[in-house]
Amino acid sequence: MTVIVDYGVGNLFSLSCSLAAIGETGVVSSSKELLARADRIILPGVGAFADAMEKLTSSGLSESVCAAAARGVPLLGICLGMQLLFETSFEYGTHPGLKLIEGCVKSIPVPETLKIPHMGWNALSFGKEKHPLFRYVSEGEYVYFVHSYAAADCEKALIAQTEYGVPVTAAVAKKNVLGCQFHPEKSGAAGLDILKAFCEFRKGDL
């Protein structure tokens, strides 16, 4: 069972439809009891970091997500959901995150000729070794981004980058905790293949 965390800031319907397209049942829930039984967890997110973190914390779901990660349950953060996995965000102030991955979230230092937010299709680069999350996609495949901030100082967790005037963190992983800055649920066949790989992970695989 893959649980999509419902804390008020996510593309829940799009994710549910994408999981259904690959034959996986995605249960949208804010139930702590269900999170405790989940085989996998997806943490979506759109909007501002501080607002999302406040909602996740005030609902008590931050504790459930962190507890599941500590048990080895595969956890995938998407877009803002990925940013919440880090220690700190500098989006309109300084805000603590879930501290599941070392690093921080900063504005993208793009040249003046490029617009922010970074919005559109960009190619993935995996570096020397391809992570199992990308087992069904090839380097150079395009995925869809919509963001103004990105993960930084996270070299140990970096598993994919893209280019938008400067190198931009596209995906990270620390054991069973993974994150995609792009939206796999909006990235066509490549995105579905990434979700398929994630849904094949079991506790202890990573």
Say how far apart CA 36 and CA 132 lie, in whole Å. 25
Could you confirm whether 79 is annotated as catalytic?
yes
DSSP 61-94: HHHHHHHHHHTT--EEEETHHHHTTEEEE-TTS-
Instruction: Identify whether the C-beta of residue 190 lies closer than 8 Å to the C-beta of residue 143.
Output: yes
Q: How many Cα atoms are found within 13 Å in the side-chain-facing hemisphere of 158?
A: 21
Identity of the residue numbered 115: K
Say how far apart CA 103 and CA 88 lie, in whole Å. 7
Could you confirm whether 183 is annotated as catalytic?
yes
Kindly name the residue from 95, 141, 185, 199 that is annotated as catalytic.
185
Nearest to 170 by CA among 101, 82, 76, 45: 82
Instruction: Identify whether the C-beta of residue 186 lies closer than 8 Å to the C-beta of residue 141.
Output: no
Kindly name the residue from 79, 154, 180, 199 that is annotated as catalytic.
79
63 contacts: CB under 8 Å, gap ≥ 6: none
Tokens, residue 90? 């500098």
Could you confirm whether 185 is annotated as catalytic?
yes
Kindly name the residue from 118, 141, 183, 199 that is annotated as catalytic.
183
Catalytic residue positions, numbered: 79, 183, 185
